[in-house]
């Protein structure tokens, strides 16, 4: 296919959002003595080294014990602190799912759950380490905002919002390198609002996290084919910005979703629910639909079609143009 | 419609409660009891706590019978523990449930909500009349305690093995904030089969949480059978000691023994585990030590008979 030649060729500068997270958390801790960090032997992978150096008493490393970690987070919140509970997203969410539901969300505990290195970030470490179900699981829990920043600016803004807002939050902090996607001049993150990054009339690509920059490149490829694709960055998966999704369906008539996760229950399902309830249009839900084979993250994204090419192909397919 | 940033009900630092309001008459009565207990000799203290526990037991039975739901056996085994804690030990303010320096009580065995609700209402956290709504549609008094709707409930419990990690977090947080407040977690013995308890026990021992006390309602029964027949817990005290705790064993229906165990200074740098030996269904002969009363509901005749015994 003609699109293949441009696959993943980019000269953009990319960032690990954990660095923005770690830096902003230290800033927050300097300004507010209630801010504490909790982790599961993940000082390195959660990038808490600088925090630990500056605030050794305010880092609670519980060891390899995620249920304990989330319960302790709820207890710290009860004591009046603002805990950022950090661990690899796959273990934080899967091992402590009931604690997240009962101790945090149902208890309305002021806990900021930070799922690090989500999606396929752990690459060849395999499906046991891929956090691809977290969005589905957490989106099903009431009163738990699920926030997925797409770049460093969104990461900083999202954790500032989380610290200032009383109540539970899950933040999915990416490790996979991403370029800046936030447009200048608008707030990098507004809770519950999706950001329209590119206008288009033929179809909409709704993407989150690492897939947002890929969706933008897909739109550029599609433009070469004469297809005007809108791109929407959903950084709050739950609660979803229904108005923006309905507008996409009404105004462009076709929707493709893209996420580094299973679309079953995740962003894809969330968008599909709104589209189905309000303005049914043809859709394609891109994501990880199986346990991944062995390979590095970039390879795995290719494998699942989670590339600019893959997204562009899905748009052509949903428009019935794939054989043209 | 766009999602509103206020989709989450903002929870104030204490509680988000609009339905159950403090009962100031009950608070005054409870404060009077606390003052009398502070001055009482041991015999008088034992008598006052026994009277408090007896009242809670009777209300537990009538509440469960009225609602057609509840865990009578465990409620009656934990009653003396809760009565001693709220009657003589915990520094709480029912008029201000979110007081930052309050002592915290976490009921990890959340299925015994009726004993907790009754105790809280006895202290005046909310009017006792509201107990009759237990488990009714839209009642704040759910089958398991919810922090959302019941003042005095520190964290929502029900699924087992959740209370101790939360209690550890509270104790760590209070220490970080320089508060002298204490944290007490009441656990069922059966729920110690959940591994999360031992994760938390390890953390509490490692961190030397002197302000933390775990009280185990050691009635020896779980939902389906004896704990010893299901997944043996003994040697229980040794397990806690091995995790860096001090452990004491007491008669969990002896108010003075409980009082001593709950008020003696801790060994430096050690959390304390109080293993309170109790009888499930305590006080009602046909319920005592009977596994089926884990969550059997007394019919009208059984309730009448139980109340007669508890008089």
Closest CB to A71 among B158, B166, B202 = B166
User: Does the pLDDT of residue A316 top 80, yes or no?
Assistant: yes
Q: Do B165 and A98 touch (CB under 8 A)?
A: no
How far apart CA B194 and CA B134 sit, in angstroms, is 28
CB of A41 closer than 8 Å to CB of A63: yes
Closest CB to B159 among A102, A167, A193 = A102
Q: Which of B2, B5, B165, B271 to mutate to test the interface with A (most CBs of A within 10 A)?
A: B165
- The count of domains in chain B is 1
Residue showing tokens 């709050």: A236
User: Does the pLDDT of residue B13 top 90, yes or no?
Assistant: no
Phi, psi of A192 (to 5 degrees): 80, -5
List, for residues A257-306, the tens digit of each pLDDT value.
Answer: 999 999 999 999 999 999 999 999 999 999 999 999 999 999 999 999 99
Q: Which residues pair with A115 in a beta bridge?
A: A87, A172
How far apart CA A66 and CA A64 sit, in angstroms, is 6
pLDDT of residue A12: 81
Place B6 in a pLDDT band, splitting at 50, 70 and 90: very low
Rounded alpha-carbon distances, angstroms, from residue B69 to B57, B58, B121, B133, B140: 15, 15, 19, 11, 15
CB atoms within 10 A of CB A9: 8
A136-145: buried (b, 16+ CB within 10 Å) or exposed (e) per residue? bbbbebebbb
Alpha helices in chain B (DSSP H): 24-39, 42-67, 72-84, 113-123, 163-176, 195-206, 227-230, 236-242, 255-263, 300-309
A229 three-class SS:
strand
Residues of chain B contacting residue A158, judged by C-beta atoms under 8 Å apart: none
Q: Structural domains in chain A?
A: 17-173 (3.40.50.970), 194-319 (3.40.50.920)
Mean pLDDT to the nearest integer, A16-42? 97
Q: Do A80 and B13 touch (CB under 8 A)?
A: yes
In chain A, whose CA is at the least distance from the CA of B204?
Answer: A62
Q: Which of A35, A64, A75 to mutate to test the interface with B (most CBs of B within 10 A)?
A: A75
How far apart CA B40 and CA A6 sit, in angstroms, is 85
Mean pLDDT to the nearest integer, A180-209? 97
pLDDT of residue A2: 33
Q: Which domain, by its residues, includes B119?
A: 24-310
B264-285: buried (b, 16+ CB within 10 Å) or exposed (e) per residue? eebeeebbbbbbbbbbbbbbbe
Has residue B14 been placed in a domain? Answer: no
Has residue B125 been placed in a domain? Answer: yes
Give the residue among A29, A64, A73, A71 at the shortest CA–CA distance from A45: A64
How far apart CA A202 and CA A195 sit, in angstroms, is 18
List, for residues B212-264, the tens digit of each pLDDT value.
Answer: 999 999 999 999 999 999 999 999 999 999 999 999 999 999 999 999 999 99
Mean pLDDT to the nearest integer, A136-146? 98
Mean pLDDT to the nearest integer, B278-288? 97
User: Does the pLDDT of residue B2 top 60, yes or no?
Assistant: no
Place A9 in a pLDDT band, splitting at 50, 70 and 90: low
How many alpha carbons lie under 13 Å from residue A87 in its C-beta half-sphere? 29
List, for residues A76-125, the tens digit of each pLDDT value.
Answer: 999 999 999 999 999 999 999 999 999 999 999 999 999 999 999 999 99
The angle formed by the CA atoms of residues A90, A157 and B4, to the nearest 5 degrees, is: 85
Q: Which of A59, A78, A97 to mutate to test the interface with B (most CBs of B within 10 A)?
A: A78
Residues of chain B contacting residue A72, judged by C-beta atoms under 8 Å apart: 165-166, 168-169, 172, 200, 203
Helix (H) or strand (E) segment spanning residue A116: strand A112-116
Place A162 in a pLDDT band, splitting at 50, 70 and 90: very high
In chain B, whose CA is at the least distance from the CA of A145?
Answer: B8
How far apart CA B252 and CA B29 sit, in angstroms, is 25
CA dihedral B30, B31, B33, B38 (to 10 degrees): 150
Residues of chain A contacting residue B202, judged by C-beta atoms under 8 Å apart: 63, 65, 68
Has residue B16 been placed in a domain? Answer: no
Q: What is the least distance, in Å, from the CA of B242 to any CA of chain A?
A: 18
Q: Which residues pair with A37 in a beta bridge?
A: A59, A84
Give the residue among A237, A231, A321 at the shortest CA–CA distance from A273: A237
Mean pLDDT to the nearest integer, A30-53? 96
Closest CB to B100 among A36, A80, A167 = A80
Mean pLDDT to the nearest integer, A313-321? 97
CB of B56 closer than 8 Å to CB of B82: yes
List, for residues B156-207, the tens digit of each pLDDT value.
Answer: 999 999 999 999 999 999 999 999 999 999 999 999 999 999 999 999 999 9
Mean pLDDT to the nearest integer, A162-174? 97
pLDDT of residue A238: 98
**ipTM value for the complex:** 0.94
Closest CB to B173 among A80, A102, A192 = A80
Has residue B131 been placed in a domain? Answer: yes
- Token couple for A52: 């630990």
User: Which domain CATH number covers B79?
Assistant: 3.40.50.970
Mean pLDDT to the nearest integer, A159-167? 97
How many A-B residue pairs are in contact by the CB < 8 A criterion? Answer: 157
> Cα B297 to the chain's mean position, in Å?
20
Has residue B4 been placed in a domain? Answer: no
Q: What is the least distance, in Å, from the CA of A34 to any CA of chain B?
A: 8
Rounded alpha-carbon distances, angstroms, from residue A131 to A34, A46, A88, A187, B83: 29, 15, 8, 28, 46
Phi, psi of B247 (to 5 degrees): -130, 130
Query: Torsion-angle region of residue A126: left (phi > 0), alpha (psi -120 to 50) or beta?
Result: left
Residue showing tokens 């707030």: A187
pLDDT of residue B8: 38
Helix (H) or strand (E) segment spanning residue A170: strand A169-173
In chain B, whose CA is at the least distance from the CA of A245?
Answer: B2
Closest CB to B168 among A72, A110, A165 = A72
């Amino acid at each position: 296919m003609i699109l293949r030649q441009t696959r993943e060729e980019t000269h953009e500068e990319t960032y690990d959002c954990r660095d923005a997270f770690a830096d902003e958390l230290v800033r927050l801790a300097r300004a507010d003595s209630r801010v504490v960090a909790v982790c599961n032997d993940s000082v390195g992978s959660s990038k808490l080294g600088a925090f630990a150096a500056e605030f050794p008493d305010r880092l609670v490393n519980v060891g390899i014990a995620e249920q304990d970690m989330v319960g302790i987070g709820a207890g710290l919140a009860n004591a009046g602190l603002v805990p950022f509970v950090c661990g690899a997203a796959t273990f934080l969410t899967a091992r402590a799912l009931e604690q997240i539901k009962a101790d945090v969300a149902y208890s309305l505990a002021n806990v900021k759950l930070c799922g690090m290195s989500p999606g396929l970030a752990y690459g060849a470490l395999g499906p046991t380490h891929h956090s691809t179900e977290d969005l589905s699981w957490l989106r099903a829990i009431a009163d738990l905002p699920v926030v997925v920043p797409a770049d460093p600016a969104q990461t900083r803004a999202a954790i500032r919002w989380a610290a200032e807002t009383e109540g539970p939050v899950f933040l999915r902090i990416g490790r996979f390198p991403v370029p800046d996607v936030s447009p200048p001049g608008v707030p990098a993150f507004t809770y519950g609002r999706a950001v329209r990054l590119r206008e288009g009339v033929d179809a909409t690509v709704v993407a989150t996290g690492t897939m947002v920059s890929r969706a933008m490149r897909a739109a550029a490829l599609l433009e070469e084919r004469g297809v005007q694709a809108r791109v929407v960055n959903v950084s709050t998966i739950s609660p979803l910005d229904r108005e923006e999704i309905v507008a996409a369906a009404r105004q462009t008539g076709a929707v493709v979703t893209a996420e580094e996760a299973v679309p079953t229950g995740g962003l894809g399902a969330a968008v599909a629910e709104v589209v189905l309830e309000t303005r049914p249009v043809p859709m394609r839900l891109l994501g990880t639909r199986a346990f991944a084979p062995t390979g590095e993250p970039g390879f795995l994204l290719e494998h699942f079609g989670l590339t600019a090419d893959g997204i562009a192909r899905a748009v052509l397919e949903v428009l019935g143009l794939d054989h043209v | 419609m766009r999602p509103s940033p206020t989709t989450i009900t903002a929870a104030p630092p204490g509680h988000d409660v609009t339905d159950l309001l403090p009962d100031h008459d009950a608070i005054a009565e409870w404060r009077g009891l606390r003052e009398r207990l502070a001055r009482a000799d041991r015999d008088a203290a034992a008598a006052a706590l026994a009277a408090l526990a007896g009242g809670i037991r009777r209300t537990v039975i009538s509440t469960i019978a009225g609602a057609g739901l509840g865990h009578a056996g465990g409620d009656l085994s934990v009653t003396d523990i809760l009565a001693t804690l709220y009657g003589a030990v915990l520094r709480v303010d029912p008029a201000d449930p979110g007081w930052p320096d309050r002592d915290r009580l976490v009921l990890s065995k959340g299925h015994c909500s009726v004993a907790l609700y009754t105790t809280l209402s006895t202290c005046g956290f909310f009017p006792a009349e509201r107990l009759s709504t237990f488990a009714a549609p839209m009642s704040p008094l759910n089958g398991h305690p919810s922090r959302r709707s019941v003042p005095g409930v520190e964290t929502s419990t029900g699924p087992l093995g959740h209370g101790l990690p939360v209690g550890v977090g509270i104790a760590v947080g209070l220490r970080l904030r320089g508060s002298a407040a204490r944290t007490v977690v009441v656990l069922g013995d059966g729920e110690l089969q959940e591994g999360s308890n031992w994760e938390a026990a390890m953390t509490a021992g490692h961190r030397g949480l002197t302000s933390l006390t775990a009280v185990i309602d050691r009635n020896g029964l779980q939902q389906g059978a004896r704990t010893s027949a299901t997944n043996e817990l003994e040697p229980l005290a040794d397990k806690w000691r091995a995790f860096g705790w001090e452990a004491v064993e007491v008669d969990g229906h002896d108010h003075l023994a409980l009082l001593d165990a709950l008020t003696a200074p801790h060994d430096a740098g050690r959390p304390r585990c109080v293993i309170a030996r109790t009888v499930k269904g305590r006080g009602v002969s046909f319920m005592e030590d009977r596994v089926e009363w884990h969550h059997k509901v007394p019919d009208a005749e059984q309730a009448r008979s139980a109340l007669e015994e508890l008089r």
